[in-house]
Copies of this chain bind each other. A is one copy, B any other.
Amino acid sequence: GDVVLGVDRLKFETLLERQKALHGARLDTDLGASALRELVRQYKALVLKETGKPFPEAPLQQLRMAIDAVFNSWYGQRAVEYRKIYGIPHTWGTAANVQAMVFGNTGDRSGTGVAFTRDPATGERRFYAEYLLNAQGEDVVAGIRTPHPIAKLKQQMPKVYRELERIYKKLERHFRDMQDIEFTIQDGTLYLLQTRTGKRTARAAIRIAVDMVREGLITKQEALLRVDPSQIDQLLHPMIDPKAKAQVIAKGLGSTGAAVGKVVFSPERAEEWSRRGEKVILVRHETSPEDVGGMHASEGILTATGGLTSHAAVVARGMGKCSVVGCGEIRIREQEGFFSVGDLVVREGNPIALNGNTGEVILGAVHLIKPEPDADFLTFLRWADTARTLGVRANADTPADAAQAVKFGAEGIGLCRTEHMFFGEGRIPHVRAMILARDEGARRKALEQLLPMQREDFLKIFQVMNGRPVTIRLLDPPLHEFLPKYHEVLQDLTRLRLTRGDPDAIRELETLFQRISELHEFNPMLGHRGCRLGITFPEIYEMQVQAIFEAACACKRQGKRVLPEVMIPLTGTRQELADLRALSVRTAEEVMRRERVRVRYLIGTMIEVPRAALVADQLAEESAFFSFGTNDLTQMTFGYSRDDAGKFLPRYVEKGILPGDPFASIDAEGVGQLVQMAKERGRKVRPDLKLGVCGEHGGDPRSIAFFHQVGLNYVSCSPYSIPVARLAAAQARLKEVKSQKSGVKSQE
């Protein structure tokens, strides 16, 4: 046994235990003495054969070898790689603690057990322990014998129990945290083998933290640092019942809770089935903006391609829905109505489950647990708000999202994507008419149809946000995203021509295909999108700005407060921004003059292409705020397409070439330099430049710590990530204060 306390902890392994692990044998204490002797003989023979030396019999030599084994484990390949990935210095070294052996299996006055000082599942303040008489530690852990609840020990060995009670309380007071304790009783004497901070569920973590503050054991600041922000997510989404038996059939990249439903292969089917009350999981090769309706109707989304920031993952997270993306093992045969994994076939209508925490795809329906945030949770997050200096906004495109965001504590909208509105019911025909328009006149006519719809969208969002800032990004995606897909139209056209279809239908499809071909791009990510659309089709941006300000004026006239922030996407040069800023100001002022209402507003830009960071000083002269679009900035700085990186990124992380997926946690070393640079250059020109982040990193605790450290004003993330962000922001600030106090930072 071992008790090793400290930053780093490695199991004290005896040579025998190593051999067991090596040969897969189990040492069963219930074996008869002769069988045991036989086993020992076999082991010794094995040791001789494998190492060329007899089993060391001298206890001191055994001890030395055991100690060496611990120290050598520091240099094991996996340990070295682990440290590399997590940036732990190799110079730290490890520790070995040597203690006398005690035996819990000497008879009925002996025993062994494990204990938690509070309930690790609920956080309730009660002693939660189990034990076995006449047994060693492994027997409790291995699950062969069923241990007794600790209450029984109180009857069986009251003295031992009282002592244990005294000790566990003392340990918890000493370490000021819930402890996970291992103990052994040898002939009526209690020995503590180990104590360490106990693992706990998210719910327990918060309850324990809040209780301990109330008990005066820890400060609010300490409490805030006790809960891992990434755990918070568990409290907001359903999760798979840990007791459920799950037949995992494939694995991809998961996000957000869990989902159970029947497999459907098209968004139309998803909507149709969902309308008649079925719970469905949408299974697609990948998703695109036109699938949003179907995604909304589904419980979860499973895709064969894409990474954690692919369309499917991003949109699903935004909706608070579970997704598993980039699941390359599944082969989808939409037309045949099934998908397969190896030989296994899953048909449309078959139930499956997705586990967003693990990325697992599970065959059949499993039981989900849906936790409810309780009063402790709300208290805890309020403490976080008082501790943090970094603002937290939401990415929200609809009034419903906005309301959800406010409920979760958003201080504003950091990213309202206008393109999702273009896919709304009754809109796509006008959007397509606009795109297919051959001249500005026809385009303006189509835009006129869209104007009142956009205005209505914005008005409702402004009403919900009631004076909180709302950053609206002007149209960003390339226009071909609003048209049917190139391949599909090509396929339809080939089919129609071969089957001598209706000539009118063919002609119409040809015209459509012609336009789709013209708009087709080799690298849409680097194509005709963002402010490049605003420069080439200024009438689109004019319509959007007009809608924003007509909505703002209407909102103000209703007696509500309103603060629109117009955001120009994908800027790379000063002149782009100057032109579109002028267009926006002109349009805004025109509307306000006409409406005889004045609203405060800001015009700013996103920093998404590396060049924007390099010329941030120039951009700051034309911009009241910068919002870092770290998804795109990561794509372009690394040269990784988020939709394609699934082909090599997992290998990169596996091989330790990258510490992790840079779309999940910001690459501080590379992309972070550009963020830092843009901040410095921008603030030099405009000291009050407002700085935020609206990429997926806005909801990632490690990234949030980085953004806090750089000195941004706020992060913006999907509504369901807001609690996580509030806590992560608080922790970033508390750690900063701590390191400033200890002077470690300033001394180095």
Name A residues whose Cβ lies closer than 8 Å to a Cβ of B: 486-487, 490-491, 494-495, 498-499, 521-528, 532, 535-536, 570, 572-573, 575-576, 579, 608-611, 614-615, 632, 635-641, 643-645, 647-648, 651-652, 655-658, 667, 669-671, 673-674
Contact = CB atoms under 8 A, between A and B. Distances in A.
A639 B637 CA distance: 10
B614 A670 contact: yes
Contacts of A638: 572, 609, 611
A637 B652 contact: no
A528 B648 contact: yes
A5 B486 CA distance: 59
A288 to B, nearest CB: 10
Given A523-B525, A526-B640, A657-B579, A536 B572 contact: no
Given A523-B525, A657-B573, A673 B637 contact: no
Contacts of A486: 487
Given A494-B491, A579-B655, A655-B535, A523 B641 contact: yes
A615 B669 contact: yes
A524 B527 contact: no
Contacts of A499: 498
B611 A641 contact: no
A611 B633 CA distance: 10
Interface centre among A490, A491, A611 (most CB of B within 10 A): A611
A724 to B, nearest CB: 27
Given A491-B494, A610-B610, A639-B632, A670 B572 contact: yes
A644 B522 CA distance: 7
A490 B671 CA distance: 38
Contacts of A641: 521-523, 525-527
Contacts of A645: 526-527
A640 B528 CA distance: 8
Given A523-B643, A535-B657, A651-B535, A637 B615 contact: no
Contacts of A609: 637-639
28 contacts: A487-B487, A494-B494, A522-B525, A522-B641, A523-B523, A523-B524, A523-B526, A524-B644, A525-B526, A526-B526, A526-B636, A527-B641, A527-B644, A535-B648, A570-B639, A572-B639, A575-B655, A579-B655, A609-B637, A609-B639, A610-B610, A610-B637, A611-B639, A611-B670, A611-B671, A614-B637, A614-B670, A636-B636
A418 to B, nearest CB: 20
A648 B536 contact: yes
Given A523-B644, A641-B523, A657 B487 contact: no
